[in-house]
Structure formats: structure tokens, C-alpha cells
Structure 1
Amino acid sequence: MVQVATKTSPPELATLAVDLMRQLGCEYGEIRVASYRRQTLEARDRSLTNLADSVSSGFGVRVLYQGAWGFAASHHQTPEAITQTVNLAIAIAKGSRLTQQEPVRLVPVPAYRDSYVTPIAIDPFNVPVSDKAQLLLQINEGLLKYSDRGVKKAHSFLQFTREEKTFASTEGSLIQQTITRTYPGFSCTTIANGDAQTRSYDRQPLNLGYEHVQPEDLLANVDRVAQEAIEKVHAPEGPSDQRCDLILKPTNLFLTIHESVGHPTELDRVYGYEANFAGTSFATTDQLHTLQYAAPWVNFIADRTQPGGRSTVGYDDEGVPAQQWYVVKDGMLVDYLTDRETAYRLGRESSNGCAYADSWSSVPMVRIPNLGLEPGPEGGSHTATLEQAIADTEDGILIDGIGSFSIDQQRRNFQFGGDAFWQVKNGKVVGMLKNVTYSATTTEFWNQVDAIGPASERMQCGTNMCGKGEPIQIAQMTHACVPVRVRDIFVGRSR
């Protein structure tokens, strides 16, 4: 009789690890058994240039032993590997303790036995690759039909990811989650008069299934994007070294929120635990509830429960439930983004659930959640639609999409570009510009916002490529926002 070995399930592996951590005297321990599937298709011009479909799976163990962290991981999902990896994590914690000045302390979290699955209508991994490739090539063909007017390059893509994670801790939690993400988009490049300009269109990355791709919407925007790319390459240069009013669409504003509000309020960055990728933060804890971060009518709210949000989950990677809270309220800095360790140092009773690791082999760290700008209230004195903001602007620039950016080592001073720019004169859009950047200090910029769009103009914009840490980890998050007008901002050229 042939005996077939039975595979140990993720919950069984997690239970073995937790039991062993308790037996070996860990003050706290956790395990994430995870599998990550990523599928990417790219087409350049009339060829499919990239088709990648990969799966990475394994588990990571983190223990708190005598006040010090230890972490170890393995791709061998067996009981034997569990024993070896837990013991290695404890050995690393013992080594870390030799140079540690203060013991790690964590805020408590209740034990949860639960599951969460991203609500989707169409599983993107069940859609034939041939259908996806055909869509990309059709988009590119539509762009390249303008080749006689200068469109020389076309690029389109589809990205799909799925995270399947089982989390267990010595506190009694056992949580299973499946997170699905979808991101489609395209761009084209025009060349004329010794210049090259690009115009893009993305259906913003969201936690949805293939229904988010919406081929009819992508194809409906092809002509507009190509025509704007042509107009852009022939447009005059933007103004240099002067101040004017800016009207920023959500597709541009989300990155400014990300860099100048999201990263500065990560509490590990504030405390100096993290200083890679543009340093620490000016928003130190002695300024909590006193720093006028923005104008009194500006509010930023974090929300990991937001339907479709790129950072929407049931629980973070420390087993803390997804939640919603203000980071800036009535323009005032009122809170941070925390994990259990930084929340304890801040004197809080609980974490607001911002721990995330991008792989089974990565250590959880504080990551920006969905962090959005609240719309202006109906009838509010600073509430204005995009159309109203334009009509009320004598001399300004309307900006759509993202471009290059830079920000200093404490997130005080920044410079941002965009993907498309239009000059606004005497309440009307009068034509495109190119090569525009704007720069300011964080608090100057947000305190000069004088018009905020209503809820009807809210868009869920965000990124799937936020880098942090060394070695680098990649996270994703949504910054839902509305159009805003910002008065008297310094504007220059991008080159």
C-alpha cells in the first residue's frame, strides 16, 4: 500500500508555531503563513512585451523574547521548518537583546478568530490571458493611429495581485484573509520639434476584481489621451519662478497627500525608527494637537475599511482590526499612523492598525493606510466644484495626473509635477502648458487651500508602489480626495 503524505494546512502550521512559542517562553509571538500571486501583462506598441504570473509562498515568524524582537522566515511549509524557524527567531531575539537599551512593549489587542475576503465580482485570474492581451493591443492600436500627428510610443498594462494570509498569535488570534487587487492603465508618448511628452490614463489601483478593468472605459479614453499628448508636445512652456493659484485634480493631489501627510505621520518615522526613503518627520509628537497642519476647513481621515481601498483589509499584520480615524481634524494634527509598538510609546491604549509586511519573508512595519481628504460640506463657505473653482480663478494652473516629485529629509519642503497642465485666465481654461512644477513647504501648502470639492467629485486615487524600509518593502494605499484650489504657490518649470 502506497502512503501519500498529507499537506499541513496554514491554520495547522500556525497553531504549531504558536504552541511552540508559548512552550519556549516568548512574551509574545506571531506567524503569518502567506501566498502572494502576481500577474502582470504589458504591451508596448503592437507587441505584448511582458507576461508574468508568479506565486511566492512561505511563512514568517516574529517573537518578542526578553524584551527584544526576533524574526525569521522559511518557504518550507512543514512542521520541521516551523520548529527550526521559531528557534531561529528566538536566537535572533537573544542577540538583539545584547545591544537593546529599552525593552519592547506592545499595546494589547483582543484575540480574534475571523476571516476576511475582498468582495469581487469577477476573479481576474480566471479571465483568459488572451482576452487581456487583446485588450492591451487594441488600446495601443488606438493610440498609434495618431502616429502621423506625433504619437510614436504606446504602452498599456494590467496588474493583478492576490494575498492569502493566515495570521496567528500567542494572544489567541487566528485570522485568515484573501486580498485581491486590480490595476489597469495606458500611456502614449508624442515627439515633435525636438521634444517628447507623455500623457497617461489609469483606472486607479483598487481592491476589486476584473470588473474594475472596464474595457469600454479604457477604450473610450484612448482618443482623448492621444489628442492631449499631441497638444501637450506643442504647448508653451509653463511659467518660471513666479507664484500663482493652483487647481489640483484628485489624480494629482493624491501623491501630494501621500508624501506630505501620509509619510510624515507614520509614527515609526516620527520616532526615528525609520529613516530610509526621505528621512524622518517634522511632525514630532510634541506638536500633537498644537500643529496647524492645514487650513481649519481641511480634514484628513485614515480608513482601512473603505470599500475598494487599496489598503482595505479586515485586520493588519499584527491582528489589529481595520478602523477609521482622523489624522488632521479642522486643520490640526490630531493623530498618527501606528503599530502596537509605537502606539505604546505614544501612550495610547491600542494601535490603529497600520502594520503591514509585503511578503511572508518581510517584517511588519508601519505603513500608510487609505488616507483621504474629506470633501467640503454641502453649502460650506470653502466648498466649490471644480467648475466653480475655475470660474473664480483669475490666474492659475489646472493640473491632472502625477509626474516627478521630490521632498526633503523631514518632509517639510517639496516639489511636485504632473501629467497635464492647463492655464486658467479670468475664470476660463485657455490652453495646455507643459513642464510645470510647484513647490512649497508642507504646512504652507495645506494652509493655503481655500476651495475644496464636494463629495460628488470624490475620487479614489492611490499608489501600488510605495517604497519603505531597507531592504525595501512595497505597499499600496488609496488617497481618496476631491479637487482643491491652493492660493499663491510657487511655480517653476520641470527642466
Structure 2
Amino acid sequence: MPRTIDESFLSLPLRPLADAALARARALGADHADFRLERVRSASRVLRDARPSGAEDTTVTGYAVRVVHGGSWGFAAGVDMTMDGAARVAAQAVAMARLSAKIIAAAGSGERVELAPEPAYGEQTWISSYEINPFDVPDADKTALLTEWSERLLAARGVSHVDARLWAVQENKFYADTAGTVTTQQRVRVQPELTATAVDSGSGRFDSLRTLAPPAGRGWEYLTGTGWDWDAELAGMPELLAAKMAAPSVEAGRYDLVVDPSNLFLTIHESIGHATELDRALGYEAAFAGTSFATFDRLGTLRYGSPIMNVTGDRTVEHGLATIGWDDEGVRTQSWDLVRDGVLVGYQTDRRTARLSGFERSNGCAFADSPAHVPLQRMANVSLRPAPGGPDTEELIAGVDRGIYVVGHGSWSIDMQRHNFQFTGQRFFRIEKGRLAGQLRDVAYQATTTDFWGSMEAVGGPQTYVLGGSFMCGKAQPGQIAAVSHGCPSALFRGVTILNTTRESGR
């Protein structure tokens, strides 16, 4: 069945509201105006030991008008779905811009908001790549599948508890601007997750193991066979959990690491994804875990990592969580290089930061997480490229005499400049003379961003590549949340500092 835009969204007075708002903004002298009407539906289901323990289904609908007037931004949002209401919101946005201009002038700043040029695209429609909209699936079917998965794990020896969760989002956006771009878009994403916990009744010690399946820009089919082998993952979890419970604690020191995509995606997110957001590099985003060591003056010269390091920003990859047709400034999305042969060569931009820095155009990274929020420069799908014809994970492991194979993401810590970091994981396997030799516990790897990526000696081939990601990337004040994917192969790093988390914490 072909995918179509939700009829209930299309039944809203999209174009009339936009026309009223944009006409009012023009009449009040706005140099640029854009209108964005959104409906975001989010649902979650939670089971504890195969019994329902929580459910939520919320929908947020509203619209926003953003203007550039007199060299300043203005923004306002509303929910009154009438032409008069939309015109009033546009007038409020212009009033905000006028007030901002006065404040800026009083502060002695001559900076004016200017936007990088972007062609007008006329009327366009885009729908993300999925087969079955999860919101078309009865809640009873969702609960039944999560229950069946939970019961499988609970039936296994050594599994004491199981938590099962499913998140689903359908995001609809209508956008129109004074240049003539009009877009109607729909994207769907899901995140299934199960966590099995073992408890030693004698000692009281416990540990857990989480599924590795990443969130994805897919539909219900992701849970029923397309894109992930759930049967294989669930079947292997009890034995892996038992081995984790029995594993010895790691000895701190320096080790070679083979890092699985299920862990490496998060390191990419924190140390590359955020660090190459241009607003951070320019100092405009500094309040909430802001700024970056990869400052703009280092573009083209910063040795980010080893010569085999190639990283792209991409808002077009199929099933990516940050994939969209046009961003929230009417920019057609694209793919571009961030790091090439280990050197910083690009940033993620919106139209303002692109113009400030002399780029010809934005690469489509403006996004707002709700109709009440102003678009920010947000992260694309930032991915480490595999090596064509490169090794598989077993070959990477075979090249290590003494090391650790890291699987699954855990906790993390990184400074505001995205330079000094520490990451844990879900599963750690000792490598001895090129072979896996049982699990370890209490492992964290620590480095600076450039030292870590500089120690990367080999990347796996396309057969090791996995598109991981997160539903919950936070940025800005007031805070906004965005979903983003990060693809990567397995990779080999030499001589990385390993900490014992239990001993480091003094426990």
C-alpha cells in the first residue's frame, strides 16, 4: 500500500492559515517570514515482567510564525485555527522582532540577521520510508507482542525481571515561506527496547542486558521481521546475561579496543556530532552543554583523527531518524563531508550560521521539536564511513593481541567543548591473541576526542555497518529534543585508556 499523508492532518486549514500569516507579515514590512504548522503524535507502552505498567498517547498541534524584520528575529506561536488568529500571531512575531532590534541597538551591537540564499521549491510533499504506520496497529497487538517477547526472556534460567518498552512518533509538518516554498511532510519512527535483569539472591548482586536494536525511521514492520532479527537477539540474551554476571572486573590500563557499532554510534554523537554544529563552533550555543573545541578558525586544518577517518553529515539516508525532505527553513536536505581523511572539512549549518560563515547555502539542519518552539540548528545523521572491501569484525579482533571488544552503549560523560570524554557500554569481551576470551565487567574507556579518533587504525567494511541512533538528543534553553541516527562500522583503536568504574567511584 503506498504511503500517504494523514488525511486528518490534510483536513486542517493549512494553506489558508499560512496565506493569512505571511500576508500580514509582508504588510508589516518583514524581509522574510515563514509559517510552520505541526502535529506531533507520540505514544509509548511499558511492560514490567510481561504485565502492562504504563501507556501514553499524546498529540500536540499548533503553528508558528518566524520573521526577519529590521535585521532581527521575531517569533510567535498559536493554536487558534482561524485566519484572524494566524494574522495576529504574525503581528506578534513582527512586534517581537521590533523589540529585539531596540534591545540590540541599546546594547551597541550592529549585528543583523541575514539568511543564506535558498531556491524556492514551490509545492512539495515528502513521506519517510516505512511500511506500516505504528499508529494503525491496534494497541492490543502491540501489548501482545511485547508480552510474548517478555515471556520468552522470563522463561530462561537466570532472568529475574524484564522491562519492555515501545516508543512511536508520527510527525506532520506543513511549511510555507515568503520566497514561495511550500512543503507537507510526514515521518514515522519507532524504538522497541527490552532489558533483562538477573539478581543473585545470595549476594544481592544484579546486572542487566539491553537489546542492541537501534531506534529507526521505520514502522511496525521493524518489530515483525524487517530490519532486525528479534528472534536471534532474544534467544541469545539469557546466556550473555549469565556470562556478564559471572565476569571478572577489568584491570585498569591501556588496551586495544574493537568497538562495535552499537557502542560507537554514541561516541560519534557526542564527540563529532555535537562538536561540528556550527552554532557551537561560533559560540552562539553555549548555555546548555554548548561550544566546541572544533572552532571555525580550524576548518580545513584540524587533525580530527587518523587518515582513515571519513565522516558525513546526512539528512537523506533511508530510515535515518534525522532524515527529512526539507528542513524547518525550507532548505532541501542533503549529504556532505564533515571529516575527510581525518581532517575537519565541514560543519552542520542552518541558513543564518551559513551566511555568517560565508557558506553558499545551508545544509538543511534547522529543526524545531514542536510548534511552540523556534527552529534551531540541530544534528544531522552524522556517520563514520566504512572501508570499501574492509574487514569484518572477526578480522579486526584477530588483529588484537590484548584488548577489549565493546558492545552496546551505556553511560557517558563529556565536557562542554566535546573534547574530554568517558564512555561505558553494555557488554565487554576480553581479547587474547586475536580471540574472544570471556566477558569483563566495570569497563569505561577514556580519551580526548582527537586522541581517540587519532588512534583508530582500521575500520570495518560495509558488512559491519549499522545505523544506530537516539530518540532523545537535547539542546538549547528552553530545551528541545530531537531524534538522530549515526551509522558506523566496527573499528579498531590502539592503546586506549581503560578505567575500572567500580574502583574509580570508590565503591
Question: Which range, TM-score by smaller chain?
Answer: over 0.9
* Match of residue 88 from structure 1: 92
* Match of residue 505 from structure 2: none
* C-alpha distance in 1 between matches for 2:267 and 2:287: 19
- Kept in 2, the 8 Å contact 1:464–1:476? The answer is yes
Identify the match of residue 203 of structure 1 among 213, 225, 230.
Answer: 213
Task: Note the 1:127-276 alignment, pairs <5 A.
Answer: 127-146=137-156, 149=158, 151-192=159-200, 193-214=203-224, 217-240=229-252, 242-276=253-287
Identify the match of residue 60 of structure 1 among 56, 59, 64.
Answer: 64
Residues 229 and 8 from structure 1, CA distance in 2 versus in 1: closer, same or farther, beyond 3 angstroms? Answer: closer
- Kept in 1, the 8 Å contact 2:465–2:489? The answer is yes
* C-alpha distance in 2 between matches for 1:72 and 1:219: 48
- Kept in 2, the 8 Å contact 1:117–1:177? The answer is yes
- Kept in 2, the 8 Å contact 1:185–1:218? The answer is no
* Match of residue 4 from structure 1: none
- Kept in 2, the 8 Å contact 1:282–1:411? The answer is yes
* C-alpha distance in 2 between matches for 1:207 and 1:184: 12
Question: What percentage of residue pairs aligned between the two structures are identical?
Answer: 39
Query: SS at 1:223's partner residue?
Result: helix
- Kept in 2, the 8 Å contact 1:186–1:202? The answer is no
* C-alpha distance in 1 between matches for 2:177 and 2:340: 34
Query: SS at 1:349's partner residue?
Result: coil
Structure 2, unmatched stretches of 5+, are 1-10, 503-507
Q: Shift of the alpha carbon at 1:111? A: 1.0
Query: SS at 1:166's partner residue?
Result: strand
**C-alpha offsets along residues 141-198 of structure 1, whole Å, 9 cap, x if unaligned?**
122223x52x222111111111111101111111110111122121111122332211
* C-alpha distance in 1 between matches for 2:175 and 2:183: 5
Aligned residues between the structures? 483
> Is 1:349 paired with 2:360?
yes
**C-alpha offsets along residues 416-459 of structure 1, whole Å, 9 cap, x if unaligned?**
00011100001110000111000000000001100100011111
Q: Shift of the alpha carbon at 1:223? A: 3.0
- Kept in 1, the 8 Å contact 2:212–2:262? The answer is no
- Kept in 2, the 8 Å contact 1:8–1:78? The answer is no
Aligned residue type for 1:403: G
Task: Note the 1:40-119 alignment, pairs <5 A.
Answer: 40-100=44-104, 101=109, 102-113=111-122, 114-119=124-129
* Match of residue 474 from structure 1: 481
Query: SS at 2:160's partner residue?
Result: strand
- Kept in 2, the 8 Å contact 1:304–1:312? The answer is yes
Q: Shift of the alpha carbon at 1:46? A: 2.6
Q: Shift of the alpha carbon at 1:8? A: 5.6
> Is 1:450 paired with 2:457?
yes
* C-alpha distance in 1 between matches for 2:214 and 2:224: 12
* C-alpha distance in 2 between matches for 1:18 and 1:273: 28
Task: Note the 1:396-435 alignment, pairs <5 A.
Answer: 396-435=403-442
Mean CA deviation greater in 24-33 or 12-21:
12-21
Aligned residue type for 1:291: L
State the TM-score, normalizing by the size of structure 2: 0.93
* C-alpha distance in 1 between matches for 2:272 and 2:305: 10
Task: Note the 1:227-376 alignment, pairs <5 A.
Answer: 227-240=239-252, 242-376=253-387
* C-alpha distance in 2 between matches for 1:332 and 1:394: 29
* C-alpha distance in 2 between matches for 1:122 and 1:359: 24
- Kept in 2, the 8 Å contact 1:184–1:202? The answer is no
> Is 1:437 paired with 2:469?
no
- Kept in 2, the 8 Å contact 1:278–1:407? The answer is no
Mean CA deviation greater in 8-17 or 314-323:
8-17
Mean CA deviation greater in 433-442 or 267-276:
267-276
Q: Shift of the alpha carbon at 1:301? A: 0.7
- Kept in 1, the 8 Å contact 2:212–2:408? The answer is no
* C-alpha distance in 1 between matches for 2:457 and 2:470: 26
- Kept in 2, the 8 Å contact 1:309–1:477? The answer is yes
Query: SS at 1:227's partner residue?
Result: helix
- Kept in 1, the 8 Å contact 2:315–2:333? The answer is yes
**C-alpha offsets along residues 51-80 of structure 1, whole Å, 9 cap, x if unaligned?**
211111000111111011111111222212
* C-alpha distance in 2 between matches for 1:8 and 1:439: 51
Q: Shift of the alpha carbon at 1:377? A: 2.2
